Structure 1
Amino acid sequence: MSETVLVTGGTGYVAGWCITELLKRGYDVRTTVRSAKREQVVTGAVASEVNPAGRLTFATADLTADTGWDEAMHGVTYVLHVASPLGVQNDSAADLITPARDGSLRVLRAAAKASVKRVVMTSAANAASPSSYATEGVTDETLWTDPADPTLIPYRRSKTLAERAAWDFIENNDTGDMELTTVLPGAVFGPILTTSNIGSVGIIARMLKGEMAGIPRIGLEIVDVRDLVDVHLRAMTSPAAAGQRFLATGEFMWMADMAQALHDGLGARGSRVSTRHIPDFAVRLAARFRDPSLREITPALGRRNRHSTEKARTLLGWQPRPARQSVLDCANSLIAHNAV
């Protein structure tokens, strides 16, 4: 009989690709949705890549409530906890931290009760980054972001505290033989399965639509969603991965270089992509007087902090693809799905 893997948050961008790849590799998959009405959305997305009939099942469970998690874990061998609480503009720290931290603990408690072999939890590279906004530097999994740093945006603080709470739970509770591994991705791009939830690739959609009049001096460590799923699955089964954190950040790329790659690589389809640079001072002025949402990116202007993925490469044999390929594959997928 095939092993069953539970993927949390089945309607999510990363979760959809996790489900797809698990099915391709012969696993049975159960995934959580907050409402049974969302099941068809997941099935339709996955069916564009693989036939899910008979091997994909659903459980109704929400990170903000205890109900449904015991049933979701029944008969499960592994858990990929990739779900994140939905946020809205101007989230406060509590709006994000409480559901992220408490939701992770709900998943871990139910998994331990069901004698799950291993939980692989999706954290973020922002949970292993220096608190100071130096312009250069390379860090690895031994570093923890300081959640007490008052300059942290709520999202970054929530991801750090949620992961920290997960490790504390494993250390301080009797979880039997259950193991925990965490994966810390950078900016996730790549092809989409559906337009119902395009996740982080929305920034590329905005570029293609011509909605970005200029490009700020922001750099991203780009990981393809397919490579991110691959490292999750390697972390799920590798004996060497038990009790480890793995950065999965991919190649560093300035947004200006992303825009140029889209403009040059797509021909006429990339004609609306702006390659005009926006000076740092203009971004800061706009953040202060016109668009408060820009305040979260101003500390990252000109910053080229990077993360080492040597651990994932060495222990798991992980090999991510070039960032430019992910950006172009993402754009072509958005165009093919009529999302731009």
Structure 2
Amino acid sequence: MTTIDKKKPVLVTGGTGYLASWIVKQLLDQGFHVNTTVRNKANQQKYHHLLDMASESQGQLSIYEADLLLDHSFQEAMNDCELVIHTASPFKISGIKNADKELVQPALQGTRNVLFSANDSKSVKRVVLTSSIVAMMGDAADIHELNKGKLTETDWNTTSSVNHQPYPYSKTMAEKEAWTIVKKQNRWDLVVINPGFILGPSLSRRTDSTSIDLMIQLYSGKFKIGAPAGDHAMVDVRDVAKAHILAGFTPGASGRHLTAAHQKDFLAIAKIVKDMHPAYPVPTKHLAKWLFKLLGPFMGFSRKYVERNVGHDVVFDNSYIQKDLKMSFIPFEKTVIDHFEQLVADGLIPDKR
């Protein structure tokens, strides 16, 4: 059992990220003192939305500069913190030129840097790590081989590599490294959040989140001729943020937490928007798998990726997070609508309502 002093600052690494921004906001709204890290403190434009949130909240925000690849760079931000929420990690699934350099090493080295700083910090009692559902499986086809055909916290990704599904590989290696490091000491404990495909409104206008970029493509007509078949494990970004905070402050929380709420495909998203706003060029049918295989390489997806993911459903069991963290989830339709409205309001997709 680990009890965190709520009067102490909470460190959230990589605070400008899509998910991390929501974690910061929810903590600030609850009156916490939040320390967060950015890569370049001089570039205030990247984190101005965090400053705005802090000014409108009951909490307090402190900004620190840190780099995933620089040893000890998180040490100052961690001072006096009993809880560390480590979200910072690169997320790219296409357009990757050097997977080891762009994904694996930053994820591994960043995890090591943060956790070694936790070792050196006398105040830290708990680290909550943002992992991913892809640390449990690399391809959707993997689920067919699991016990009872459902993904759970006991599963590990064994099929990804630097050459195939490098992003899932990076998350798997980083989480395994975290569990290795925590076992070598006994002062702080580790709780892991493994989100599925994250949707929901962004707190900034940045589009370098893969989730946001895919939604912009969906509403802008890129998939008008058809969407890839196959259900994903989807979850609202606000719920994932809430899960991190619950994991931090629930004394008995332990282990990994598959954080997903809805088994849905891209057509389900498109239908919600199409029914409300027919002018948007969203897909109304699935694209034939043979055609996606043909077009996939031009869209940044290998034929092997298409073969092992398109047409395969991600079936999961989220009962553990409901039990361990008393977690409940936002309805799917609200997630889609809120996300769509934010993209229109921020001018990231045209207003055809």
> Please, what TM-score do these two structures have when normalized by structure 1?
0.90
1:230 corresponds to which residue?
Answer: 242
Please say if 1:334 is aligned against 2:350: no
| Residues 138 and 308, structure 1, Cα contact 8 Å, conserved in 2 | yes
- Which of 149, 156, 165 is the matching residue for 1:153? 165
Alpha carbons of 1:292 and 1:30: their partners in 2 closer, same or farther (altered >3 Å)?
A: closer
- Which of 256, 270, 284 is the matching residue for 1:245? 256
Q: 1:189-228 residue pairs with structure 2 within 5 A?
A: 189-197=199-207, 199=209, 200-213=211-224, 214-228=226-240
Q: 1:120-199 residue pairs with structure 2 within 5 A?
A: 120-129=128-137, 133=141, 136=144, 137-146=149-158, 152-171=164-183, 173-174=184-185, 176-197=186-207, 199=209
Q: How much has 1:261 moved relative to structure 2? A: 1.4
1:119 corresponds to which residue?
Answer: 127
- In the TM superposition, what whole-angstrom CA distance separates every residue of 1:263-321 from its partner, at most 9, and x where no partner exists? 113x25x5222324210010011235x44435444421111132211011011110112
Q: 1:12-51 residue pairs with structure 2 within 5 A?
A: 12-45=17-50, 47=52, 51=56
Alpha carbons of 1:52 and 1:71: their partners in 2 closer, same or farther (altered >3 Å)?
A: farther
1:303 corresponds to which residue?
Answer: 312
Distance in 1, Cα, partners of 2:36 & 2:27: 11
| Corresponding residue SS for 2:115 | helix
Q: How much has 1:16 moved relative to structure 2? A: 0.5
Q: 1:254-273 residue pairs with structure 2 within 5 A?
A: 254-265=265-276, 267-268=277-278, 271-273=280-282
Alpha carbons of 1:67 and 1:86: their partners in 2 closer, same or farther (altered >3 Å)?
A: farther
Distance in 2, Cα, partners of 1:303 & 1:260: 20
- In the TM superposition, what whole-angstrom CA distance separates every residue of 1:84-107 from its partner, at most 9, and x where no partner exists? 136571244412111101110110
Distance in 1, Cα, partners of 2:348 & 2:12: 26
Q: How much has 1:258 moved relative to structure 2? A: 1.4
Q: Alignment length, in residue pairs?
A: 334
- Which of 270, 274, 299 is the matching residue for 2:283? 274
1:285 corresponds to which residue?
Answer: 294
1:90 corresponds to which residue?
Answer: 96
| Residues 259 and 321, structure 2, Cα contact 8 Å, conserved in 1 | yes
| Residues 35 and 60, structure 1, Cα contact 8 Å, conserved in 2 | yes
Alpha carbons of 1:45 and 1:331: their partners in 2 closer, same or farther (altered >3 Å)?
A: farther
| Residues 46 and 52, structure 1, Cα contact 8 Å, conserved in 2 | no
Distance in 1, Cα, partners of 2:207 & 2:60: 23
- In the TM superposition, what whole-angstrom CA distance separates every residue of 1:227-250 from its partner, at most 9, and x where no partner exists? 0011111100112213x1111022
Q: How much has 1:212 moved relative to structure 2? A: 2.3
Gaps of 5+ in 1: none
| Residues 139 and 309, structure 2, Cα contact 8 Å, conserved in 1 | no
Q: How much has 1:69 moved relative to structure 2? A: 1.6
1:7 corresponds to which residue?
Answer: 12
Q: How much has 1:132 moved relative to structure 2? A: 7.7
The one-letter code sitting in structure 2 at the alignment partner of 1:163 is: E
| Residues 199 and 335, structure 2, Cα contact 8 Å, conserved in 1 | yes
The one-letter code sitting in structure 2 at the alignment partner of 1:84 is: S
| Corresponding residue SS for 2:141 | coil
Gaps of 5+ in 2: 1-5
Alpha carbons of 1:37 and 1:149: their partners in 2 closer, same or farther (altered >3 Å)?
A: closer
Alpha carbons of 1:241 and 1:54: their partners in 2 closer, same or farther (altered >3 Å)?
A: closer
Q: 1:53-64 residue pairs with structure 2 within 5 A?
A: 55-64=60-69
- In the TM superposition, what whole-angstrom CA distance separates every residue of 1:202-257 from its partner, at most 9, and x where no partner exists? 21111222232321113221110110011111100112213x11110221101112
Q: Give me the CA root mean square deviation.
A: 2.4
The one-letter code sitting in structure 1 at the alignment partner of 2:117 is: A
Identity of aligned residues (%): 29
1:107 corresponds to which residue?
Answer: 114
